[in-house]
Chains A and B, each alone.
Chain A
Amino acid sequence: MSARVTGATALRVLRQIRHDPRTIALLLVVPAVLLLLLYWVFEGQPQTFQQIGAPLCGLFPFIIMFLVTSIAMLRERTTGTLERLMTLPLGKADILAGYGIAFGILAALQATVVVTLGFAVLDLHAAHGAWLVGLLAIGNALLGMALGLFVSAFAQTEFQAVQFMPALIFPQLILCGLFVARDQMAGFLEAVSWLLPLTYAFEALAKATSPKALDTAFAADVLVVVGTTVAALGLGALTLRRRTD
């Protein structure tokens, strides 16, 4: 792994996105519009908006970066650029870190827009600071990126890759406690929810936006998210093969 090659890879990924201004606009605007929509949907119930909207600000980047990375990586695999990279003096870690830096920056921009709207304009409260929600959002984006990179190995076409979102992300959103508290779900679902990484991402966000003091449980949530990200990157690295059939 070399700083020069990692940096060049991050720059390359960012340049690819820069050539697609519509994607950038959608990336920045869509989460904000969805949050606004929720604001009006829960017009008479500010408490519900706080309960769902506040953590959601930090989950958008997870969802979007999962999708964007799985498609971007699938393209690298199908257009032969990944195979070329694998014949060059470049480490797998350079690719993973390059993607991480590029999408981390993108996630930071996205989080800034949606967090600013939510906490500065729409009256959401982050008891421990909106910056913490933003920081968690970037961490969640990297988790989404790592998972997207890994699952891209199991898709042959972009049609298949987009299906991974409803297949792998929606169930986690439903079960993470965002819509219904997990202890009110059917018992086996609560058990399943303990196994899903998004549960911990949500828990950390819920704690960061609630007035209770942050304790070790918060730290544990963050640790699980970071650990899962590292594990998914490790699995992703295994799918970057130098030799194929």
Chain B
Amino acid sequence: MTAAISIRNLVVDRGGREILHGLSFAIESGSVTGLLGPSGCGKSTLMRAVVGVQKVAGGTVEVLGAEAGSKSLRSRVGYVTQAPSVYADLTVEENLHYFAAIVGATLEKVATTASAVGLGEMGDRVVGSLSGGQRSRVSLASALLGEPDVLVLDEPTVGLDPVLRAELWEIFHGLAGDGTTLLVSSHVMDEAGECDELLLMRDGALVTQMTPDRLRAETGESDLGKAFLAMIEREEGR
């Protein structure tokens, strides 16, 4: 297995404050990695750095062997921000058609992607009239159109009902099975069990990187939320 994402000593400053304090880790391709940690710990900033839209103060971020944000990666990396970044004054279909034109996806791909995220019947609805969960699925669908090799998803399941959430996770696993590398952030621990590997973050630093099973085994906690807490206490006790 080769590393799809490889980060060394990443430092990010925002507004004169250091947000990320020298993170290093690597993510294998074709896996689902969960980026977990409390809100404000730097998850979004880290994801922005992976996509290459974040100014960095130090360190290197490599994606698929190229520097994050380089031109060659623009058709290979998909990014879904926490707030849905689609056009609220366009219909679902008009949004998808626009992003499809940019990445060169076919109309057929638009249709299958829309139904995959449960928007098949909503093509002519104006995005601004949709619920928050539906809007974020439009945003997700827009990123899936280009069949990216690396998919960076910032809290993609927030505000979704449990059935939809399970469906989305099925999609994510399907994509990983096809070789896509997914980095998915969440601030709720109950999604951690869905991931192949976990990155636990706190206060701009990486607490640990391990599989859910190993996290349970090392801490002796079956609940991943409690396991995270135990891990933090152990790190701080050092």
Contacts and interface: CB of A to CB of B under 8 A. Distances in A.
Contacts of A4: 101, 104
Interface string A71-115: 000000001110111111110000000000000000000000000
B15 A8 contact: no
A147 to B, nearest CB: 23
A243 interface: yes
Interface residues of A, number: 26
Contact of A16 (B14, B79, B87, B103): B87
B74 A20 contact: no
Interface string A221-245: 0000000000000000000001111
Given A4-B101, A245-B14, A20 B81 contact: no
Interface of A: 4-5, 7-9, 11-12, 15-16, 19-20, 79-81, 83-90, 242-245
B227 interface: no
Contacts of B51: 87
A87 B101 contact: no
10 contacts: A4-B101, A4-B104, A7-B101, A80-B81, A81-B86, A83-B85, A84-B79, A84-B142, A87-B69, A243-B52
Interface of B: 14-15, 51-55, 69, 74-75, 77, 79, 81, 83-91, 94, 97-99, 101-104, 126, 142, 146
Contacts of B142: 84
Nearest to B78: A87
B85 to A, nearest CB: 3
B199 to A, nearest CB: 21
Contact of B87 (A8, A81, A243, A245): A81
A89 B94 CA distance: 19
A8 B91 CA distance: 15
Given A244-B53, A244-B55, A89 B75 contact: yes
A12 B127 CA distance: 14
A87 B102 contact: no
